Each structure stands twice: as C-alpha cells, then as structure tokens.
Amino acid sequence: MNIEVRIQDGPLAGGAPGAWTAGGGAAGAELCFEGVVRAEEAGQRIAALDYEVYEPMVTRELHRLAREVGEAHGVLGMRVAHSRGRVPVGQCAFRLHVTAMHRAEALRAVEVFIDRLKQDVPIWKKPVPAGAVGVPAQPVLPDSATGPRFSAPDEALRALCARLRPVESESVSLGQAVGRILASPVRADRDSPPCDVSAMDGYAVRLVDLEQPALTVAGEAAMGQAPRPLPAGQTLRVFTGAPLPPETEAVIPREQVAEEGERIALHALARSTAAGLYVRRRGENLRAGELALTAGVAITPAIVATLASFGVTQVRVVRKVRVAIINTGSEVVAPEDHPQPWQIRDSNGPGLAALLSGRGWIDAHPPARVGDDVERTRGLLAEALANSDAVLVTGAVSAGQYDFVPDVIKALGGETIFHRLPVRPGRPLLGAVGPQGQAILGLPGNPVSTLVAARRFAWVVLRHLAGMAEPLGSVPVVELGRPDDQVLPLWCFRPVRFVGAGRVELVPTRGSGDVVALGRGDGFIEVPPHLTGAGPWPFYAWES
C-alpha cells in the first residue's frame, strides 16, 4: 500500500486527484475529501483557524493511522495532508485522498480515518475571531469559542469549581450548627467509650470464677459512678452502659443465671462464656486524638450528637454562602400582577428562591427583576457581586439581540469559563468567575431551563463554595419505565415522576417553556448523548 503524509504551513493548495496513481492500474475508485474552514465555530463568527501541530508525533500518528485503516479496508493508497498555522475561512486545511479497487472500501476508509483522526492525532485548532486576521497574536479571553470546550456537565463544573475558593469559616454554638457545613475536622477529646462499660444487664465476672457453681454478689456497678472493684471469687451486678472495673473479663447476662438473694447460680451456657463477651472496651469506638469527623460534611442531627459527645460546644463551620438572584426579561411581571396575554408571571425568581430556601448553609437575597434594561442589569450585577459569593442571573444569556448578560459579565471583569454546553434544556448556560472570585451563573431564562440548570449546575457550584468535600454529591440512579426512543447528541435532562421505588416514568412535556409539566414531575433524569432506554439514569430530585 502506498502512503504519503504531509504537514504544510498555511492552507492547502488545490488538489489534483487524477494525477495520483497509487494503484498502478488496479484502482477503480479515487476519492478525495477536503476539510474546509467554516465561517462559524462554536456559535461565533470567525475569520480563520489556527492549527497547532505536535511534530513529529502528528506525522507518525497519521502514518500509523493510514496503515491501520488502509489495511483494514483493503485500499491501495492513502495520501494525507494537513495544515499547520493559520487557515482563513473557505480554505482547505485537511485533505485525504484514497485509492481503492472499488468505491465501497474507499468510502468506508475515508469515514473511519477521519473519525480516528479527530480522536487520536495531536492537532488543535483555535478560532481567530472575525476582524482579527492580520492583527498580531493577542491574548483572547477564555471563552467556549477559544478556551476549553466541555463535552460533559461535570467536566464544565469541575473547571469552574477549580477557579472558585470556598468561603471562609466562622464559629457557631452547637445549638446553631445543624444544617451548616463542618469547616474543620473533629478529633476525639477522649476515648470513646471513656472506660470499659457493660453491654448487658447482668453480672461482671472473671473467667476463672466460672468454675464455681455459684457466686456471691459483692455489690452493684451503678451508672454515673466510678466503678467499684471486683473482689476475687465474687461478682458485681451491672446494668447496660454501667462502668466496669478493669479486672472484668466478661459480663454474664441476667438470663443465664438464677438469682438467689445475694448469690447467683450459673446456667450451663454461662460457664462457656468467652473473654470480652458483653464488655464494651474503653476506646473501642475511637481513641483520644483520632479523627471523629472530616471537614466538608453537612451537619446532621447525628453529627450534632457526635460533636456533643466530644465536648465540642463551639463548632467551626463554613460561613453561609451569600447568593443573589437577578431575573431579566421585559415580558416578566410579578406573580401578584395581572399580566397581559403577552406577559408572563415571574416563575424563575420564586422557583430559584425556593430551591435555595431551607438550606442552613445558604443565605439567599430576595430575587430582583430587571426587565431588559442593560444598564440596570449592570448596576444590579455589580452590586450583587459586591455583596455575594455567587450570583444567579436568569435569561438574556444566549446569542440573540437582547442577550446582553455575557457582555455585562465581561464588562464587570468576569471571566467566562464555559458558555453553551451540549445539554438540553439549558444549552446557553454560562459559568464565569467574578473579579473577586465570585461565582456567576447565567441560567437560560425559560422556566424549565432555569430550574433544571440551577438544580444541576448552580447547586454543585454552591456546594463547592460552601466547602463541601464532594460538591458533585452522590447522585442516585433510577430505572426509566416505558422509555421513548428519543436519541440526541446532547445530555438530556428529562422530567420524570416516580411510579415505584427506584422507578420513574417520563412526564409528557412540550419543552423548556412548559411550566405545567415542570410541576408534574418529581425531578429529572440525565441521559448522556446518543443513549436511550431504561437506564438506570442519574436522578436529580426537586426535593433534596
């Protein structure tokens, strides 16, 4: 098989397919594919693409790929050319020329080769925005069009969170700690339990004394009092949780003895008691100084109990995360207003406020409505950034004429980490870092998109700001009953309701404006691109 590989600076000149005779007369098919730079990249108008090529690895990989694909498909020759550096719109950056005996193998080889090229060959393209051609290289703000492009929700979230520092900690009394996030690990201040204690109501004994048919009861080990000594050849009456003298080797349950005044007779079962039975040893839960709780967990009632048992009355917790909500849209009126048919009541503000309410670690400001007023949005966003750790802006985040939010964020010194993700609903979603490290999320304005994006994305970012050890959390999975056959090249968030334990069904919906369907679901499932069927799929509940 004849293979040629060429890397060329700048655009590839016009090819002359007929002039190449790799097949030496055996060829019945000559196929030439040309990749041409389009005027749009990731939704942005561009003037050119800059190709970065890692040599000599690219030449080597292209050779390997041509040989593998060519041999697998029985072609006679493969000729590959790729550009390096700047290629203007409309010009050719990649050419693949396949010679084969018949068209079928040539067509297949082209398809497979290009798929593999896009996975394995270290070439990177970088868009040159329209109007920038000829201008010397300049730093470009990381944007989805120029910075990393994310193919999965969690990837984008990790990139954003990597740029955000959790807020500082503060001290609260134990009574105020439930629902907050523990900011420091907690160590045991003493052994748990702090001395040997009985696990049963019964009698403390030494094993050697179990040879005797009966034992004298020397006294009681009472709760809340220092343990009294266990005399040799005798026993002490003990209660569950009572402190035991260190010489105790086991506790015989009351049920295994016959009580006769101040003496007990041992049943046969009691005679075979093993060392340590029904004795909780000092420090068997945890030794003094060992780690009882790690930082970054939400404080539950159970954790409050643990903290109390280790004498922690002032708890180091993460300061509440301050969140501002700004809703754009000139069509939006207050829920208590009487809207005209061309107006809608604001469901995003109350929905978002409700999503954040009742969380002990969030301090959400009341939502603000700004219409489509760019200056007002800018003012409110600046104010929100000054007073908050995170700002959620709804609407005006796509690429339309009235979609001013991305520009306002940039103008205020925000740095966009992602804008537009392969998700539905919520595709225009924007994640940015404010000038003082605040989180900014631009949520698409359709009611379903807003709430879904908030639950799936803002939620994780807020958990990260709150110092939670696992911001992504452990997401439960559910089985989808009666799945439809929708398959999309996107991550799909689909409203579902429970029909049994761990089983859901789709809620019929008319799309991202369908607030009726929104309210009929228990949450949504996340179906990755190109997949369909029963799952199981990750489930995000409205109630969590």
CB-based contact 183:199 (threshold 8 Å): no
Question: Which residue's CB is nearer to another protein, number 94 or number 524?
Answer: 94
Q: How far is the CB of 370 from another protein (least distance, A)?
A: 32
Question: Which residue's CB is nearer to another protein, number 84 or number 520?
Answer: 84
Which position among 27, 51, 106, 394 is part of the footprint of another protein (CB under 8 A)? 51
User: Which two three-digit tokens encode residue 8?
Assistant: 């060329």
Which position among 159, 295, 412, 517 is part of the footprint of another protein (CB under 8 A)? 159
471-489: b (≥16 Cβ within 10 Å) or e:
beeeeeebbbeebeeeeee
Which position among 94, 459, 493, 537 is part of the footprint of another protein (CB under 8 A)? 94
CB-based contact 451:541 (threshold 8 Å): no
Q: Comparing C-alpha atoms, which of 534, 362, 385, 336 is closest to residue 454?
A: 362
Q: How far is the CB of 127 from another protein (least distance, A)?
A: 10
Which position among 155, 191, 383, 522 is part of the footprint of another protein (CB under 8 A)? 155
Q: Can residue 481 be called a binding residue for another protein (CB under 8 A)? A: no
Q: Can residue 488 be called a binding residue for another protein (CB under 8 A)? A: no
What are the Cα distances from residue 103, in Å, to 24, 214, 278, 305, 446?
16, 99, 82, 74, 48
Which position among 31, 92, 101, 114 is part of the footprint of another protein (CB under 8 A)? 114
Q: How many CB atoms lie within 10 A of CB 452?
A: 28
Which position among 82, 97, 237, 420 is part of the footprint of another protein (CB under 8 A)? 82
SS3 of residue 9 by DSSP = strand
Question: Which residue's CB is nearer to another protein, number 56 or number 261?
Answer: 56
User: Which two three-digit tokens encode residue 440?
Assistant: 């900014």
**Count of all residues that appear for the chain in the document:** 544
Q: Comparing C-alpha atoms, which of 169, 177, 467 is closest to residue 307?
A: 177
Q: Can residue 63 be called a binding residue for another protein (CB under 8 A)? A: no
User: Which two three-digit tokens encode residue 488?
Assistant: 């999309």
Q: How far is the CB of 397 from another protein (least distance, A)?
A: 22
Binding part of the chain for another protein, among 111-119, 211-219, 364-372, 424-432 by CB under 8 A, reads 111-119
CB-based contact 442:405 (threshold 8 Å): yes
User: Which two three-digit tokens encode residue 21?
Assistant: 């005779």
Binding part of the chain for another protein, among 118-126, 205-213, 341-349, 528-536 by CB under 8 A, reads 118-126
Which position among 63, 108, 125, 316 is part of the footprint of another protein (CB under 8 A)? 125
427 Cβ contact list (under 8 Å, min separation 6): 398, 420, 421, 444, 490
The CA distance from 35 to 113, in Å, is: 13
Q: Can residue 56 be called a binding residue for another protein (CB under 8 A)? A: yes
Q: Can residue 57 be called a binding residue for another protein (CB under 8 A)? A: yes
Q: Can residue 54 be called a binding residue for another protein (CB under 8 A)? A: yes
The CA distance from 465 to 474, in Å, is: 17
The CA distance from 318 to 340, in Å, is: 45
Question: Which residue's CB is nearer to another protein, number 162 or number 265?
Answer: 162
**Residues that contact another protein, how many (by CB under 8 A):** 34
User: Which two three-digit tokens encode residue 487?
Assistant: 């398959």
Question: Which residue's CB is nearer to another protein, number 143 or number 403?
Answer: 143
Say how many CA atoms lie within 13 Å of 33 toward its Cβ: 18
The CA distance from 393 to 352, in Å, is: 10
Site string for another protein, 23-42 (x = CB under 8 A): ------------x-------
Question: Which residue's CB is nearer to another protein, number 32 or number 374?
Answer: 32
Q: How far is the CB of 40 from another protein (least distance, A)?
A: 15
Expressed in percent and rounded to 5, the helix, strand and coil fractions of the chain are 25, 35, 45
The CA distance from 392 to 378, in Å, is: 13
Strands (E), 428-531: 430-433, 439-443, 477-481, 491-500, 503-506, 523-527
Which position among 149, 271, 410, 520 is part of the footprint of another protein (CB under 8 A)? 149
Q: Report the greatest alpha carbon distance in the chain.
A: 115
Q: Can residue 90 be called a binding residue for another protein (CB under 8 A)? A: no
Q: Can residue 52 be called a binding residue for another protein (CB under 8 A)? A: yes
User: Which two three-digit tokens encode residue 429?
Assistant: 């979603």
Binding part of the chain for another protein, among 10-18, 156-164, 401-409, 472-480 by CB under 8 A, reads 156-164
Q: Comparing C-alpha atoms, which of 179, 42, 152, 277 is closest to residue 529?
A: 152
Q: Can residue 136 be called a binding residue for another protein (CB under 8 A)? A: no
User: Which two three-digit tokens encode residue 442?
Assistant: 């631009």
Binding part of the chain for another protein, among 55-63, 301-309, 358-366, 473-481 by CB under 8 A, reads 55-63
Q: Can residue 437 be called a binding residue for another protein (CB under 8 A)? A: no
Question: Which residue's CB is nearer to another protein, number 53 or number 454?
Answer: 53
Binding part of the chain for another protein, among 145-153, 186-194, 361-369, 493-501 by CB under 8 A, reads 145-153
Q: Comparing C-alpha atoms, which of 519, 544, 515 is closest to residue 346?
A: 515
Binding part of the chain for another protein, among 148-156, 359-367, 493-501, 523-531 by CB under 8 A, reads 148-156
Q: What single-letter amino acid sits at 354?
A: A
Note the Cα 513 to chain centre separation in Å.
26
Which position among 65, 78, 121, 242 is part of the footprint of another protein (CB under 8 A)? 121
Q: Can residue 507 be called a binding residue for another protein (CB under 8 A)? A: no
Binding part of the chain for another protein, among 52-60, 240-248, 302-310, 336-344 by CB under 8 A, reads 52-60
Binding part of the chain for another protein, among 119-127, 289-297, 454-462, 516-524 by CB under 8 A, reads 119-127
Question: Which residue's CB is nearer to another protein, number 53 or number 244?
Answer: 53
Return residues touching another protein (CB under 8 A): 35, 51-54, 56-58, 60, 82, 93-94, 114, 117-126, 142, 146-149, 151, 155, 158-159, 162-163
